[in-house]
């Protein structure tokens, strides 16, 4: 069953397949919808809400909302952009995100999204939470200060690595990513070759002793803004 579905994003005609999400169809069509928790290899999670679009006038997470015939999707309106800016700013103040010395800087999706959304400095007060580090694994370093609870690691460990290294624990403001071993990641079956290591969008999960090996200027988002690889498809298609 692969019925073709026609809808529009910001007035542009987009063709999707039944069962696809708006985010997937938009990406194939070369239209970038910002996202953090969504990843092409993972089941949609719908938690960060950064991919929120208006579908026939109602806000929906593009990563979980299926395409529907004749839908009118709004992606780049001033209202939605402001909503996304707010969401990303809240992520920044909720954790301890010190881009200036973070080794993920330049390769970080949160930072790149902030640049793309034109965030200069958060307008909300910083929480400065006290969060732990976990260096118990010989090859993987966990810095909870930078975790945005996107759940990519939780899903990647289950769905791609066939393990169950992470799980969310706690509720509300106390929610965090826990390990499947009380004494830390080093006591789980996590391996540095697991996909979860590279799938973290921020600097919360790092391969140890790599650090700043990629010079400034050659990092992923030094060269082009986040999303431009998706938008390049559209330019090519034209």
Partner 1 sequence: MSHVNKVVIEPVTRVEGHGKVTILLDEQKKVTQARLHIVEFRGFERFVQGRPFWEMPVVVQRLCGICPVSHHLAAAKAMDIVVGADKLTPTAEKMRRLMHYGQIYQSHVLHFFHLVSPDLLFGFDSDVATRNIIGVAVKFPELAVQGVMMRKFGQEVIKATAGKKIHGTGAIPGGINKNLSISERDELLKEIDQQITWSRGAVKIARDYTVEHLTELTAFGSFDSNHLSLIRADGAMDLYHGNLRAIDANGNKIFDQVDYQKYIDFIAEEVRDWSYMKFPFIKSLGPERGWYRVGPLARVNTADFIDTPEAEAARKEFAAVTKGKPNNITMAYHWARMIEVLHAIEKIRDLLNDPDLQGNDLVVTGERREQGVGLIEAPRGTLFHHYRVDKNDQVVMANLIVSTTNNNEPMNRAVERVAKDHLSGVEITEGLLNHIEVAIRAYDPCISCATHALGQMPLEVKLIDHRGNLLDQRST
Q: Which residues bind partner 1 (CB under 8 A)?
A: 100-101, 103, 133, 135-136, 141, 206, 208-218
Q: Measured from the CB atom, is 20 or 136 closer to partner 1?
A: 136
| Residue of 45, 68, 47 lying closest to 58 (CA atoms) | 68
Quote the least distance from Cβ 81 to partner 1, whole Å: 29
Q: Give me the least distance between CB of 134 and partner 1, in Å please.
A: 9
Residue with Cβ nearer partner 1 (213 or 235): 213
Query: Quick check: 40 and 50 in contact, CB under 8 A?
Result: no
Closest approach of Cβ 147 to partner 1, in Å? Answer: 16
> Least Å distance between CB 127 and partner 1?
17
Compute and round to an integer the Cα radius of gyration of the chain: 18
| CA nearest neighbour of 61 among 31, 88, 24 | 24
- Closest CB to partner 1 among residues 132, 232: 132
Q: How many CB atoms lie within 10 A of CB 164?
A: 12
What angle in degrees, to the nearest 10, is found between the helix axes of 78-94 and 109-116? Answer: 140
Q: Which is nearer to partner 1, 118 or 215 (CB)?
A: 215
């Amino acid at each position: 069953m692969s019925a073709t579905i026609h809808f529009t994003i910001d007035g542009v005609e987009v063709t999707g397949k039944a069962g696809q999400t708006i985010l997937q169809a938009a990406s194939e069509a070369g239209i970038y919808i910002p996202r953090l928790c969504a990843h092409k290899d993972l089941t949609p999670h719908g938690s960060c809400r950064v991919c929120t679009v208006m579908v026939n006038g109602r806000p929906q997470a593009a990563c979980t909302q299926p395409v529907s015939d004749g839908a009118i999707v709004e992606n780049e309106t001033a209202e939605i952009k402001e909503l996304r800016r707010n969401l990303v700013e809240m992520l920044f103040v909720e954790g301890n995100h010190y881009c200036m010395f973070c080794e993920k800087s330049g390769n970080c999706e949160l930072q790149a999204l902030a640049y793309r959304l034109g965030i200069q400095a958060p307008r909300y007060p910083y929480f400065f939470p006290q969060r732990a580090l976990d260096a118990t694994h010989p090859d993987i370093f966990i810095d909870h200060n930078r975790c945005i609870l996107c759940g990519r690691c939780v899903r990647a460990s289950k769905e791609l690595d066939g393990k169950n290294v992470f799980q969310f624990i706690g509720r509300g403001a106390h929610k965090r990513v826990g390990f499947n071993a009380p004494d830390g990641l080093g006591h789980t079956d996590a391996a540095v070759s697991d996909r979860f290591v590279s799938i973290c969008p921020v600097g919360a999960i790092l391969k140890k002793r790599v650090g700043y090996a990629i010079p400034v200027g050659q990092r992923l988002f030094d060269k082009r803004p986040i999303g431009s690889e998706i938008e390049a498809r559209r330019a090519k298609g034209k």
